[in-house]
Amino acid sequence: MIPSKIKEKLRKLYHQIIDINDTPEKIALGMAIGIALGILPTFGMGIILAIGLAFLLKANRLSAILGTVIANPWIAPFFWM
Protein backbone atom coordinates (compact mmCIF):
# COMPACT_ATOMS: atom_id res chain seq x y z
CA MET A 1 0.00 0.00 0.00
CA ILE A 2 1.40 3.39 -1.01
CA PRO A 3 1.19 6.12 1.67
CA SER A 4 -1.04 9.05 0.77
CA LYS A 5 1.83 11.61 0.69
CA ILE A 6 3.80 9.59 -1.85
CA LYS A 7 0.67 8.87 -3.83
CA GLU A 8 -0.15 12.59 -4.01
CA LYS A 9 3.40 13.47 -5.13
CA LEU A 10 3.28 10.82 -7.85
CA ARG A 11 -0.09 12.14 -9.01
CA LYS A 12 1.30 15.69 -9.13
CA LEU A 13 4.35 14.54 -11.12
CA TYR A 14 2.11 12.63 -13.53
CA HIS A 15 0.01 15.73 -14.16
CA GLN A 16 3.12 17.86 -14.68
CA ILE A 17 4.32 15.46 -17.35
CA ILE A 18 0.95 15.16 -19.07
CA ASP A 19 0.06 18.86 -18.90
CA ILE A 20 3.28 20.39 -20.24
CA ASN A 21 2.30 23.93 -21.19
CA ASP A 22 5.01 24.76 -23.71
CA THR A 23 5.48 24.94 -27.46
CA PRO A 24 6.25 21.72 -29.34
CA GLU A 25 9.60 23.18 -30.42
CA LYS A 26 10.73 23.80 -26.83
CA ILE A 27 9.57 20.34 -25.76
CA ALA A 28 11.41 18.71 -28.67
CA LEU A 29 14.56 20.75 -27.97
CA GLY A 30 14.48 19.68 -24.34
CA MET A 31 14.07 16.03 -25.33
CA ALA A 32 16.94 16.33 -27.84
CA ILE A 33 19.19 17.85 -25.18
CA GLY A 34 18.28 15.08 -22.75
CA ILE A 35 18.88 12.28 -25.23
CA ALA A 36 22.17 13.81 -26.40
CA LEU A 37 23.45 14.07 -22.83
CA GLY A 38 22.01 10.66 -21.97
CA ILE A 39 24.21 8.93 -24.53
CA LEU A 40 27.37 10.71 -23.41
CA PRO A 41 29.41 9.22 -20.57
CA THR A 42 28.68 12.00 -18.07
CA PHE A 43 28.79 9.54 -15.12
CA GLY A 44 25.90 10.83 -13.04
CA MET A 45 25.98 14.44 -14.17
CA GLY A 46 23.72 14.00 -17.21
CA ILE A 47 20.52 15.21 -15.59
CA ILE A 48 22.21 18.23 -14.01
CA LEU A 49 23.86 19.15 -17.30
CA ALA A 50 20.57 18.65 -19.16
CA ILE A 51 18.72 20.99 -16.81
CA GLY A 52 21.43 23.64 -17.12
CA LEU A 53 21.65 23.42 -20.90
CA ALA A 54 17.85 23.43 -21.24
CA PHE A 55 17.74 26.54 -19.06
CA LEU A 56 20.38 28.29 -21.17
CA LEU A 57 18.67 27.39 -24.46
CA LYS A 58 15.18 28.14 -23.07
CA ALA A 59 14.06 24.57 -23.71
CA ASN A 60 11.65 22.53 -21.62
CA ARG A 61 13.55 21.26 -18.57
CA LEU A 62 11.16 18.43 -17.76
CA SER A 63 11.48 16.94 -21.24
CA ALA A 64 15.27 17.28 -20.96
CA ILE A 65 15.19 15.23 -17.75
CA LEU A 66 12.92 12.64 -19.35
CA GLY A 67 15.19 12.43 -22.41
CA THR A 68 18.19 11.75 -20.20
CA VAL A 69 16.36 9.08 -18.22
CA ILE A 70 15.07 7.40 -21.39
CA ALA A 71 18.40 7.39 -23.25
CA ASN A 72 20.68 6.35 -20.41
CA PRO A 73 19.57 2.71 -19.87
CA TRP A 74 19.91 1.93 -23.58
CA ILE A 75 23.47 3.26 -23.80
CA ALA A 76 24.86 2.26 -20.37
CA PRO A 77 25.86 -1.32 -21.36
CA PHE A 78 28.16 0.04 -24.08
CA PHE A 79 30.18 2.01 -21.50
CA TRP A 80 31.35 -1.26 -19.95
CA MET A 81 32.41 -2.98 -23.19
**Tens digits of per-residue pLDDT, 4-35?**
888 898 888 888 777 878 899 999 999 999 99
Say yes or no to pLDDT of 59 above 80: yes
- Tell me the average pLDDT of the chain: 86
In this prediction, residue 55 carries a pLDDT of 95
pTM score over 0.95: no
Which of the pair, 73 or 28, is modelled with greater confidence? 28
Domain boundaries, the chain: 22-79
DSSP the chain: ---HHHHHHHHHHHHHHHT--S-HHHHHHHHHHHHHHHSS--TT-HHHHHHHHHHHTT--HHHHHHHHHHHHHHHHHHHT-
